[in-house]
């Protein structure tokens, strides 16, 4: 059986490590440290993605399981004359949800400075439009917690255009089993995959077919799995399940996506996943995601000849203050386990 403590500890560590798209080397080192004692081989691609190979009984087919460890973030676009930072987005966060969030700016020398995302009409006592001004990057700044009065003071700290801004994840795991945090998309799924590896290693479980876990690093900007190992014949993207209008998934379910913005997923794989979820009596939902593209779509657009499916834990309020429940994580782990170990 999978180790629930390992799952939550691993997830928390991942969530507490900053990894916006384009800044994933530190989190990859952390993943390497988790993998090493499990005895699996992990390689990095030139782009910085990880490939962890689990030898199977047969290598006639090679199954890929992918999840992305990169997250949303921001970057310094310019320094204003009064010593604030204008920013550009990395990926597509819900910008109104950034208003008043704490952040850290990382100078290229490694020094980090704290700050806060704010509207340019931040005080209700001063600005008539403080409550109504659209929360867009154009109308927002990062206020640094340093005694800076002008752009020169900010530059003196070593901060310059192009520096990463890390959004505080605000991770909390509640006694009722909820995980509240930014970036559950898609660190929840990465933690599920690492938990599977811990399970297989501990119980010496050998998959039917060689399985390659692919941890991608540029998913949020659209080209995470554009390259995957050429021997992969079918791939399951493990990524957050959507919750909301016209969707049946909840925070307790593993979501099986039949179709997203990239079109329908492989019919046979999707049917098998539904069948396995029923057999194992897992809480699951089958849904169509209206605005979504997964690593399988990136791989297909990258020219890979694969069959692909998409599943993942239901995540509420995606790209904002997200939340899921351990029930969804458990169902995702168990569904992947039965797909990999019961496959004929
Ligand atoms: Zn995602």
In the reported structure, the alpha carbon of residue 239 is separated from the centroid of ligand 1 by a whole-number distance in angstroms of: 5
The whole-number average pLDDT for the span 215-233 is: 95
Q: What is the Cβ-side half-sphere exposure of residue 53, based on CA atoms within 13 angstroms?
A: 13
E strand intervals along the chain:
41-44, 50-54, 58-68, 73-79, 85-90, 102-106, 112-119, 140-144, 164-167, 172-173, 178-181, 209-216, 234-238, 254-260, 263-264, 284-288, 307-313, 322-325
Give pLDDT tens digits for 72-98.
999 999 999 999 999 999 999 999 999
Kindly state the percentage of the chain with pLDDT values over 90.
99
In tens, the pLDDT along 258-283 reads 999 999 999 999 999 999 999 999 99
All domains of the chain in start order, with CATH? 4-71+183-341 (3.40.630.10), 73-167 (2.40.30.40)
CA of 184 to the centre of ligand 1 (A): 8
pLDDT band at 135 (very low <50, low <70, confident <90, very high): very high
CA 234–ligand 1 middle distance (angstroms): 19
Is pTM beyond 0.95 here? yes
Over the stretch 96-120, which tens digit does the pLDDT of each residue have? 999 999 999 999 999 999 999 999 9
pLDDT band for position 342 (cuts 50, 70, 90) = confident
Residue 245 Cα to ligand 1 midpoint, Å, equals 19
Ligand 1 mean position to 107 CA, how many Å? Answer: 27
pLDDT at position 32, please? 97
User: Which pLDDT score, from 0 to 100, does residue 343 have?
Assistant: 47
Q: Give yes or no for residue 344 having a pLDDT over 50.
A: no
Distance 56 CA to ligand 1 centre (A): 27
Q: What is the pLDDT of residues 168-210, one digit of tens each?
A: 999 999 999 999 999 999 999 999 999 999 999 999 999 999 9
Residue of 219, 220, 234, 330 with catalytic role: 219
Catalytic residue check, 219:
yes
Residue 334 has pLDDT above 50, yes or no: yes
> Distance, CA 185 to ligand 1 centroid (Å)?
5
Which residues are CB-contacts of 223 (< 8 A; sequence separation ≥ 6)? 298, 302
Q: Mind listing the pLDDT tens digit for each residue in 20-37?
A: 999 999 999 999 999 999
Closest CA to 100 of 84, 114, 118, 85: 118
Say yes or no to pLDDT of 332 above 60.
yes
* Mean pLDDT, rounded, of the chain: 97
Cα distance between residue 26 and residue 166, in whole Å: 13
pLDDT of res. 162: 98
């Amino acid at each position: 059986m999978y180790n629930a403590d390992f799952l939550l500890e691993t997830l928390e560590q991942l969530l507490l490590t900053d990894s916006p798209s384009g800044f994933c080397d530190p989190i990859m080192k952390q993943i390497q440290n988790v993998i090493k004692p499990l005895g699996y081989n992990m390689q990095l691609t030139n782009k910085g993605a990880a490939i962890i190979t689990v030898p199977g009984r047969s290598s006639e087919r090679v199954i890929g399981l992918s999840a992305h460890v990169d997250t949303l973030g921001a970057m310094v676009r310019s320094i204003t004359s009064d010593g604030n930072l204008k920013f550009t987005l990395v990926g597509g966060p819900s910008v109104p949800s950034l208003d008043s969030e704490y952040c850290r700016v990382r100078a290229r020398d490694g020094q980090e400075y704290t700050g806060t995302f704010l509207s340019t009409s931040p005080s209700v006592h001063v600005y008539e439009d403080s409550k109504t001004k659209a929360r867009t990057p154009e109308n927002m700044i990062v206020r640094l917690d340093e005694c800076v009065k002008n752009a020169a003071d900010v530059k003196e700290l070593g901060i310059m255009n192009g520096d990463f801004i890390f959004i505080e994840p605000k991770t909390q795991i509640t006694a009722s089993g909820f995980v509240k945090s930014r970036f559950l998309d898609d660190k929840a799924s990465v933690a599920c995959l690492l938990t599977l590896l811990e399970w297989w290693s501990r119980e010496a479980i050998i998959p039917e077919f060689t399985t390659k876990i692919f941890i991608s690093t540029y998913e949020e900007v659209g080209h995470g799995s554009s390259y995957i190992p050429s021997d992969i014949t079918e791939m399951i993207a493990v990524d957050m399940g959507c919750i909301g209008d016209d969707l049946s998934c909840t925070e307790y379910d593993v979501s099986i996506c039949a179709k997203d913005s990239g079109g329908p997923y492989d019919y046979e794989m999707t049917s098998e996943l539904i069948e396995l979820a029923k057999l194992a009596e897992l809480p699951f939902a089958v849904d169509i995601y209206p605005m979504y593209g997964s690593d399988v779509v990136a791989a297909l657009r990258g020219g890979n000849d694969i069959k692909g499916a998409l599943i993942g834990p239901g995540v509420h309020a995606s790209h904002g203050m997200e939340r899921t429940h351990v029930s969804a994580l458990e169902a995702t782990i168990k569904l992947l386990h039965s797909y990999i170990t019961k496959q004929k």
